Amino acid sequence: MKILAFESSCDETAVAVVEDGRRILSDAIASQADMHALYGGVVPEIASRKHVEAIAALTERALKDAGCGKDDIDAVAVTYAPGLIGAVLVGLSFAKSVAFAWGKPLVPVHHIRGHIAANYLAFPALEPPFLALAISGGNTLIADVRDYTDLRILGATRDDAAGECFDKVARVLGLPYPGGKPLDDLAQQSHGGVYTLPHAHVDSAELDMSFSGLKTAVVNLAHHAEQTDHPLDRAALAWDFTNAVSRELVPRAMKALALTGYKTMCAAGGVAANSMIRADLKAACEKVGCKLYLPPLSLCGDNGAMIGAQGYYEFRAGHTADMDLNAYATRDIDT
């Protein structure tokens, strides 16, 4: 079964063709990073316009790369939530038009379910149930993946997502957008231990997280150094910040693992590309005998293939939509 999939939730336009939820036949991506780097972050209106400009040609390219025509496609999958609402609407509207014109089923896919499903593409042996730590620019959560389409949130951030904090801290440190990779590279130039940063605790919700205080602390440190003309150890601050984020994520993921009794975990999302977080997760899982799946860096960021992978399982579960399907800026993974 071949799924034509569309992803446009932020600043990448992506179209892919995926077979049986596990094999990538094509994955065409048009990044807007250079454009948004001029502004230090994503400008929603510009992102929406760039999606409009790119999506038709990108679809032709994805189909050509996969050697497919409309008769080869069994269903059309698309990100319908969450994300920048204008950006999501572009991909959704285009996917609707393709599904309607070709007479194909329309399959709505939650963006974070897609990130988790990226692991199915990289690891054919991975099957539910397992625990997923999803960490991206807009979402940070721990999910109990009971089945391919049955997911339950065990813990989530109460405020900022981890990825949003990475971009903000990178900007304060004078690093380019997107900030994840430059901040990771800078952190590797230090052994840290210079700056004391806060550790959040959410009362009565031990698996929930908070990153706004951590982000504010780093911003204040950087601004204080600038205003008082004191030297700022940028590499050490990058290391200490990344370590603080990892200390929020990894222990909670391991606690959730113990609560579920699972012996399998996967990471997902753009922040899953961070080298320190990957290393800390690996060490923690090895300590308790848990099998850890870390997606290749190429599948950590937004892409269409992950939407096609999850779309396959949603379609098999009978989760299709009519032409009145709407886009949502926020949406829980388990709805």
Per-residue pLDDT at 253: 98
More confident residue, 192 or 137: 192
pLDDT band at 230 (very low <50, low <70, confident <90, very high): confident
Indicate if the pLDDT at residue 335 is higher than 80: no
Closest of 228, 230, 243, 231 to residue 190, by C-alpha: 243
Q: Are 106 and 321 in contact (CB under 8 A)?
A: yes
Q: Residue 215 and residue 169: Cα distance in Å, rounded?
A: 7
Contact in structure between 207 and 253 (CB atoms under 8 Å) = no
Report pLDDT for 40: 82
pLDDT in the model for residue 216 = 94
Indicate whether 116 pLDDT > 80: yes
Q: Enter the DSSP assignment of 175.
A: P
The two tokens of residue 53 are 């400009």
Q: In this model, does residue 84 exceed pLDDT 80? A: yes
**283-310 per-position pLDDT tens digit:** 999 999 999 999 999 999 999 999 999 9
Q: Kindly report, residue by residue over 201-222, the tens digit of the pLDDT.
A: 888 899 999 999 999 999 999 9
Q: What is residue 201's predicted lDDT score, i.e. its pLDDT? A: 82
Domains in the chain: ranges and CATH? 2-116+301-316 (3.30.420.40), 127-298 (3.30.420.40)
Q: φ and ψ at 327, to 5 degrees?
A: -95, 150
Q: Vertex 24, ends 21 and 25: CA angle to 5°?
A: 120
Q: Enter the pTM of the model.
A: 0.95
